[in-house]
Every structure is written in structure tokens, then in C-alpha cells.
Structure 1
């Protein structure tokens, strides 16, 4: 399976080969800022599964974990495209909003519930983590 997508203006395109190894919803404060107050919904792919064209701008900031959080967005229109962490350079969190519909990707877990606002609607059937879930292992060749 592969997925394609693009930013709001079409200047950045992505091709995602294969299936993500996870899809999650993040309620950390930084994701709330990026998602206009809501959670960020992300499909987690190995970096080797992701191809991008177009000009991405990158903002890096220190996360609560002590690692650097990396946010990539279209340099032309500002659409969030990817998230990542210096602790997991082999992983790319692709924002679900850029992936072309229809697709069957939907969150299978919720993280940073400790920072969710009181009005947040969180599916009680999904595994929940007050902070970050366990870090996935690096891809083995």
C-alpha cells in the first residue's frame, strides 16, 4: 500500500510507501498549537518509507523529554507536514491532514493526555498515555 498527499497550496508533496507502524493522536501543548487548539493526528512511518518534494521549513525546539522536537511545514503556506524527535531519527510522524482521502488511517492510541484540555473528547476505547508512549526500536536491516 502507498499513500500520497500534499500541503494546502500543493508546493509540498509526500509519498508514503507501505503501512505506518502506528497512528496516534497527540495532545501535547505544542501539537495543540500546531493544530489550532486540538490534538495532532499522525501516522508514524519509518523515515525510509517517506519521499518528499518541495520546500519544507523546519522548526526545532527543546521538548520536555530533553530531546529536540522537530516540526516540518510547507515553506510557502505553513501547512504542518511532519513531526519528529531527535530521539527517534528513524521515525517520521506524518500529519494525517496532508494524506489524500480516502484512506483508512485513524488513531490507535492517544498520547500526552495529561495536557489535553478539559473539553477534549478522547476515545475511551483507545490506549492512552499521560506523556509519550514507549519509543519504538530502530529499523533493523
Structure 2
């Protein structure tokens, strides 16, 4: 099982993840642009695999997708760390830049590219979605 560590700029929030990395995406939605002044690079992990030390602040908002998104950040330095969506229960998005070794995760997809500014560096070699990624339906048991 892989293990990842990371934290905020000031070190008040630290985390450890014991799980394989899920999908990693560059998100160009307007909310991500507002929290980072650019697109955000994110990776998805099972929520219960993330152990956090420190107490992140949080902000809840309805996203363009219609889902309720709770973003967690360091209340001292403002570093955006995690987000949880009502559309993905049990999964947490981790900002790749907060990993101690961000090169261990490589994005495979650009999402919400229709919202990207004209100057955005959107990697044409990655899969692209104009809006949210298309999720294949799960087979029923």
C-alpha cells in the first residue's frame, strides 16, 4: 500500500494518506480558479485513508455541478488542502501541491476546460472535458 504525506505552507496542518492514488485531474472550474488564481491539480483518495493533524478551517458552497462542496484549508496560512463533494461520498480531493512529494502524482485529465482563461496552459496530451468528467455507470449487482 502506498503512503503519502503533506501539509500546509506554515506546517500547522499535516496529513498522512495510506492508499493508492485515485484519478488526478487539473480542474479549471471557476471555483478552483478563485482559490488558486489558476487551475488546481487534484488527486482523489478514500476519505477514511487520510489522517489529519491540526484543525483545518472549512467553507461550504454549491458548485457549478450542483453538488455541495466543502473545502478545507489552513486557517493560519490559507493553504487549500482538501475538498469533499456530496457527489462523491467517501472520497476526498487532495491538492497535489500540498503533497511533500507532488511529483508522485501525475494528472491524466483536464476538467472544466470551457471555463479556463484564454491564457491557460491546458496540456493537449491529457484527456479533456468541457465540464465535469464523465463517470461510467457502475454495474448493478
Question: Does TM, scored on the shorter chain, surpass 0.5?
Answer: yes
Structure 1 window deviating more from structure 2 (114-123 vs 58-67): it is: 58-67
5+ long unaligned stretches in structure 2 = none
Residues in 2 aligned to 1:49 and 1:118: alpha-carbon distance in whole angstroms: 37
Cross-structure match for 2:64: 64
Cross-structure match for 1:12: 13
Q: For residues 44-123 of structure 1, what are the structure 2 equivalents within 5 Å?
A: 44-101=44-101, 103-123=103-123
1:53-77 superposed Cα distances (whole Å, 9 cap, x missing partner) = 1011110111122211211101111
Residues in 1 aligned to 2:137 and 2:130: alpha-carbon distance in whole angstroms: 21
**Given the two structures, how large is their TM-score scaled by the length of structure 1?**
0.90
Query: Per the alignment, in what secondary structure is the counterpart of residue 30 of structure 1?
Result: helix
Instruction: Decide whether aligned partners of structure 1 residues 94 and 65 sit closer, same or farther in structure 2, where only a CA change above 3 A counts.
Output: same
Runs of 4+ deviating beyond 4 Å: 135-138
* Count of residues in correspondence between the two structures: 137
**Given the two structures, how large is their TM-score scaled by the length of structure 2?**
0.90
Instruction: Decide whether aligned partners of structure 1 residues 137 and 71 sit closer, same or farther in structure 2, where only a CA change above 3 A counts.
Output: farther
Does 2:121 align with 1:127?
Answer: no
Contact kept? 1:88, 1:135, Cα under 8 Å: no
